[in-house]
Amino acid sequence: MAGWTTLVQADVLSMALGRSDLVIVDCRFSLLDPNQGEQAWLRGRIPGAVYAHLERDLSDISQFGHGRHPWPSEKLFLERLRRWGVTPTSQVIVYDDNDGAIAARLWFMLRVMGHEKVAVLDGGWTAWTSLGLPVSTAPSPPGASFISGSFDASRLLDANGVAARLAVDDLLLDARAAARFRGDEEPLDRVAGHVPGAVNRPYALNLENGRFKSPVRLAAEYRELLQGRDPSEVVMMCGSGVTACHNLLAMERAGLKGAKLFTGSWSGWIADPTRPVATGD
């Protein structure tokens, strides 16, 4: 059955509330206060929404040397999906309260698990509440499901895999803001700069007035960056493998499917002090 696979608009989602196959996941999160998003979810959420915590549910921070938000094991992620009530036929909708960057992480995790029917709420919580759509504080329904699967490892790269792809002229796109990419500032990681050979594509460029640009505009912008490469020859990175997923979502919205993710991203790259670092443009 057809479903939403990249984005959904708030007014459209509001008409689908109550559908038996619908699973809504609230991904609100703040790096400054890791409890803030869950507290906001408790105060009010889209009716029926369950909560996904970036560090507890979408990462495995018990791992060391793999960046600030290490990619979780299949076992951990499948347990979360079952708890949230996701089944193989579920239409999953994910949202956050900023620009979709945290929600896009869960979107990509589901896609590389092989789940097609997952979409990000365009404009997120802000778009929902600005339209005066329903907000709930009622307990979310308990998860009761069976889902299995495995990550597509070909789309998930570590630092060595990234170095190998750069050696054959694949494109490495860094989603961080330009000042962090250049190394002018680094508020989160111990080393400033970028992976030698990477090209900067701040994920904020995917948006206009808080919403994703049209597929036509995104396609034109990314094709200019790709310079004839196939999307499978593109690797996305950021600071810790989260906002890079926003670029992956934008490419898929543009019809450019198959790009890869450097899961550890910059924080994973610099975990080994012998790896080279570049600064400037």
Pairing status of strand 171-174 against strand 234-237: parallel
> 238 an active-site residue?
yes
> How far, in Å, CA of 173 to CA of 8, rounded?
25
Residue 82: which residues within 8 A CB-CB, separation 6 or more?
143, 145, 146, 147
What does the DSSP 8-state code read for residue 142?
A: P
Residue from 238, 249, 254, 256 carrying the catalytic annotation: 238
Nearest Cα residue to 279 out of 207, 179, 205, 150: 179
Residue 33: which residues within 8 A CB-CB, separation 6 or more?
none
- Judged by phi (left if over 0) then psi (alpha if -120 to 50, else beta), residue 34 lies in alpha
Strands across the sheet with 260-262, in order? 156-157, 260-262, 234-237, 171-174, 199-200
Nearest Cα residue to 171 out of 217, 230, 216: 230
> How far, in Å, CA of 189 to CA of 173, rounded?
18
- Judged by phi (left if over 0) then psi (alpha if -120 to 50, else beta), residue 48 lies in left
> How far, in Å, CA of 279 to CA of 65, rounded?
22
Q: What is the CA radius of gyration of the chain?
A: 18
User: What are the residue numbers of the active site?
Assistant: 238
